[in-house]
Structure 1
Amino acid sequence: MQTKLINLESGKVNSSIVIAIDGTSASGKSTNAKMVAKALGYIYVDTGAMYRTFGWHCLKNKVNLDDEKAIASACKKWKTSLERVDNHVHLLVDGYYPAREIRTAEVSSATSLIAAVPKVREWMKKKQRECIQFGNLVMEGRDIGTNVFPETDFKFYLDACLNERSKRRLAEGVQENLAARDQRDSQRAAAPLMVALGAKVINNSGMTAEETSKLIIEEIQRRLAHSK
């Protein structure tokens, strides 16, 4: 199914295919979304990086992360733009993309806090839907199929056992309490982490990224053929 979205600024209607890949932390969303996007020639969108960018922005500007109103105010005021670079979409802050800065443990902790603020999620949803201007998308995150693009027919939910996901995080050099993160993500009031209606659930414990992405691509091709 092609997702139709009216650009509020230009009034133009964009028709594109959106593949939503949601899931828990360290379930392989980013790796598989990149592989699927490359295989299909689609644009890759890492929505987690967008939240991380705002988390970095809040830390840089000493926003009180215990104050939801302060966080919401900062989100309303920051100057951003979307840019397509090598089939990836980046969220720039004052023309700058903090690629390395957003991958620190400090930013990860801040991100889990700011992501729970309803006004932040509202802002992010609007910005993420604007990505459709770049064409067919593979978008990964935690609420793509449930909140950002619920109208798409291409929804996937990745998961793996907690032990497997913890090992993956450690291999990346990151120590994170994934059980606590899972709880925060699934229990937040605004767009909680959950399996979208109609999503194909893939538990990739013990699977390689190649095996997981193969399953996703085969399902996409099956659905595309069925829709013709």
Structure 2
Amino acid sequence: MLKNGTIAIDGPSASGKSSLAKAVAKELGWIHADTGSLYRAVAYLLEQSRMENAGEDSICRYLKNRQIVFAIREGSTRVLLDGEDVTDALRGENTGRTASRISQIPCVRDYLLDVQRNFGQKGGVVMDGRDIGTVILPQATLKVFLYADPLVRAFRRHRELTQKGIQADLEAVRKDLEERDRLDRSRQLAPLVQAPDAVVLDNSHLSIEDSVQWILQKLPD
């Protein structure tokens, strides 16, 4: 089995990227990095400061004095905001919508780009997001583009929110994902696209275990 390398998993919201990436990393004994959580951390920071609707210049100036990093704690990757672990506070739907919007601001992407690349270049990393194989880790050992039926994705996100005690309407979740897809695919900066050398995995009706084995079989010896 491959001892070191990088796996890039891209795909739309609620396609199961993070769950799959985490499971693959565990199987390989590697580290999992959910890059979407970094954008959610910026969104969370702006929301807490009531700056989510501020202008780009104000947001850029504000971020210069803040620090967002990945950290490994007890074998898992956590997101630290100015030294505070905020990982568990980042999954709200409002935070997700804000993250999708502010991800199109150039200074936000630049701010997080080095964090992601530096973490990925250490090797032994499974990284998931929307532009990992195309922008963050273009030389990844394996690139996977994850697909799932839109309704399946809506059910998954609804279940995730419910399990976290967050009330959500299934139809509202579906429409939110549809709008987020539109924004992700149409944005000028690093839109959600399949890397030319990525393999496509439709996991609509696959278990996590089956998806993990599918990816492991694609890795070079």
Give the root-mean-square deviation of aligned CA atoms: 1.8
CA drift of 1:89 comes to 2.8
TM-score, L = length of structure 1: 0.85
1:202 aligns with 2:201: yes
- Structure 2 counterpart SS, 1:103: coil
- Which residue of the other structure, out of 111, 136, 143, is the alignment partner of 1:148? 136
Indicate the residue corresponding to 1:70 in structure 2. Answer: 58
| Paired position in structure 2 for 1:181 | 180
**Separation of aligned partners in 2, 1:190 and 1:60:** 25
Which residue of the partner structure matches residue 36 of structure 2? Answer: 48
Q: 1:10: which partner in 2?
A: none
C-alpha displacement of 1:135: 4.0
Distance 1:69 1:44, change over 3 A: same
Q: Does 1:129 align with 2:117?
A: yes
Q: 2:73 aligns with which of 85, 102, 124?
A: 85
Structure 2 SS opposite 1:196:
coil
Distance (Å, rounded) in 2 between the aligned partners of 1:138 and 1:60: 30
Calculate the TM-score normalised by the size of structure 2.
0.87
Kindly provide the CA deviation profile for residues 8-53 of structure 1, in whole angstroms up to 9, marking residues without a partner as x.
Answer: xxxxxxxx51110110111110111011000000011010111111
**Worse-matched range after superposition: 88-97 or 72-81:** 72-81
Equivalent residue letter for 1:171: R
> Identity rate of aligned residues, in percent?
34
Whether the 8 Å CA contact 2:116–2:136 is kept in 1: the answer is yes
Q: How many residues align?
A: 208
- Per the alignment, residue 165 of structure 2 pairs with none
Which residue does 1:138 correspond to in 2? 126
Of the structure 1 ranges 93-102 and 167-176, higher mean CA displacement relative to structure 2 is found in 167-176
User: After superposition, where does 1:103-118 map in structure 2 within 5 Å?
Assistant: 103-118=91-106
User: Which segments of 5 or more consecutive residues in structure 1 lack a partner in the other structure?
Assistant: 3-15
**Secondary structure at 1:91's aligned position in 2?**
strand
- Moved beyond 3 Å, runs of 4+: 132-135
Deviation string 1:52-77 (CA, Å, 9 cap, x unpaired) is 11110011112142522222222332
1:28 aligns with 2:20: no
Q: Could you tell me which residue of structure 2 aligns to residue 7 of structure 1?
A: none
Residues 57 and 201 of structure 1: CA distance in aligned 2, closer, same or farther (over 3 Å): same
Unaligned runs of 5+ in 2: 162-167
Secondary structure, counterpart of 2:44 in structure 1: helix
